[in-house]
Amino acid sequence: MQPDRDRRQTGDNDMPYTAEISRANPTCFLFLIDQSESMREAIGGGEVPMAKADAVADAVNRLLSELTIKCAKEEGVRDYFHVGVIGYGAKVGPAFGGALAGHDLVPLSHVAAQPARLEERTRSTRNGSGVLTQQSVKFPTWFSPVAYGDTPMCAALTKAHDVVGKWLAEHPGSFPPIVLNITDGESTDGDPSGPAEALRELMSADGNSLLFNLHVSSDQSEPIVFPNADRSLPDDYARLLFGMSSILPPTMRTAATQQDLALAEDARGFVFNADISAIPQFLDVGTQVLGLR
């Protein structure tokens, strides 16, 4: 490649996380999803009790759908992103179902074309005249909720390291990969700090990989959203996850501001005690990258 071209793709040399995302220069989102036994318990918030595993699967599936729509253009879905879902519980591995089963990262157009299932869901909505009606809606899903086994977070982060490392070898100039880890409990295979740090050290010409952590909770305590210091955190476990989380790049901080969250400059991509409404917020902020058109 010509030097100019490298420079063009990686954005401003002095500023990380400014690479422009395009079809020729995509980035990747990797979701790590805790599938341990305890994910069967109900999540805080919401009107109807819902298992944490279901709430997480719904939110991530919806985000995948949202991403495909955001990148939908006249000629089809543009591959601005490569996306993967890794589950960790009884086993650690790719969680996509259907035609994408077994794949770690797939271009977004493939995601758009091949959901595992098209679920028919019934929604009650008020129609234009204010009458409550039942509407049957098709809802694409790419993976199903699972809750079985331990919480091998170290193994999951190591797997993510492999996937991201391989991807970076092919996309050295990309906006750095983003790994979103969603869990409800402590790691059962050792201290995850080491593997987390190794993962964050992987880098593209535009900066280090980003690791964001979301802790979902069954209890009703107030979520702690994108903190910038560990002083206010309730326990060592929360401080551990905080320490594993990357600082949010400016684009994401701006996105959070638009959702009326006032964040400090060094706010981390970390949410503790997330209830049902904090999950999509975390996912939304954590996947905001430079303006796509």
Partner 1 sequence: MTTATEPDAAAAAATTSARTFPRGASYMEALQDPASAFADPDLAAAAPALTPLGLPRPVSGNFAAVFRMDAADGRAWAVRCFTRWFDDMGRRYEAVDAHLQKQRGTWRVGFEFQSQGVHVDGEWYPIVKMDWTSGQPLLGYIEQHLWDGAALAYLAHRFATLVDELRRAGVAHGDLQHGNILVAPGGDLRLVDYDGMFVPALAGLTGNELGHRNYQHPSRAPGEFGLHIDNFSSWVVYASLVGLSVDPLLWGRVDGGDECLLFRSQDFTDPVHSDALAAFESSGHPVLADLAGRLRSYLAMPLASVPPLAPDRAPMPVLQEGRPVDLARQQSLMAVLRDEAPAAASSPLVEDIRRPRAAARPPVHFSHPTTPRLAAGAVAGAVLLVLVAMASAVVPVVLGLPALLAVTAVGSLAAKTLWRQSPEVAEFQTKQAGHADATRRRDEAKSAVAAVLRQRAEVDKTEHEALSRAGRASEQQQSERDAAIRQVDDQLRVTLTALAAQEQELYRAEHTALAAALRDAQRVVIDEDLRRKPLSMYSGLDDRLLFALALDDVRTAADFVDVFVENEGKASELAYLVRADDKRVKATGLSAAGARQLLSWRRGLEARLSASLPTSLPDDVAGQIRARFSAPRAELARAEGRARADAERQADAVRAMPVADSTALTAAARQAQRQAAERRVKLDQDLGRAKKALAEAEWELDSCERELDAYRGLTFAAFLRGIIGLP
Which residues of the chain form contacts with partner 1 (CB under 8 A)? 2, 4-5, 7-8, 11, 20, 22-25, 62, 65-66, 69-75, 112-113, 115, 118, 123, 125-128, 133, 135, 137-140, 254, 258, 260, 291, 293
- Distances from the Cα of 180 to the Cαs of 122, 128, 136, 199, 222, in angstroms? 29, 38, 31, 12, 21
Do β-strands 76-77 and 92-94 pair in parallel, antiparallel, or remain unpaired?
Answer: unpaired
Hey, what amino acid is at 99? A
Determine the Cα–Cα distance for residues 42 and 50; give it in Å rounded to an integer.
Answer: 5
Q: Which is nearer to partner 1, 74 or 170 (CB)?
A: 74
Q: Which is nearer to partner 1, 133 or 221 (CB)?
A: 133
Rounded to the nearest whole angstrom, what is the least distance from the CB of residue 207 to partner 1 in the complex? 17
Determine the Cα–Cα distance for residues 51 and 42; give it in Å rounded to an integer.
Answer: 4
Rounded to the nearest whole angstrom, what is the least distance from the CB of residue 154 to partner 1 in the complex? 34
Q: Do residues 273 and 237 touch, judged by C-beta distance below 8 A? A: no
Q: Do residues 226 and 285 touch, judged by C-beta distance below 8 A? A: yes
Rounded to the nearest whole angstrom, what is the least distance from the CB of residue 73 to partner 1 in the complex? 6
Q: Which is nearer to partner 1, 141 or 158 (CB)?
A: 141
Rounded to the nearest whole angstrom, what is the least distance from the CB of residue 133 to partner 1 in the complex? 7
Residue with tokens 């990148």: 71
Q: Which is nearer to partner 1, 140 or 149 (CB)?
A: 140
Q: Which is nearer to partner 1, 209 or 281 (CB)?
A: 281
Angle 41-47-53 from CA coordinates, rounded to 5° = 30
Rounded to the nearest whole angstrom, what is the least distance from the CB of residue 221 to partner 1 in the complex? 26
Q: Which helix (H) or strand (E) holds 169?
A: helix 153-170
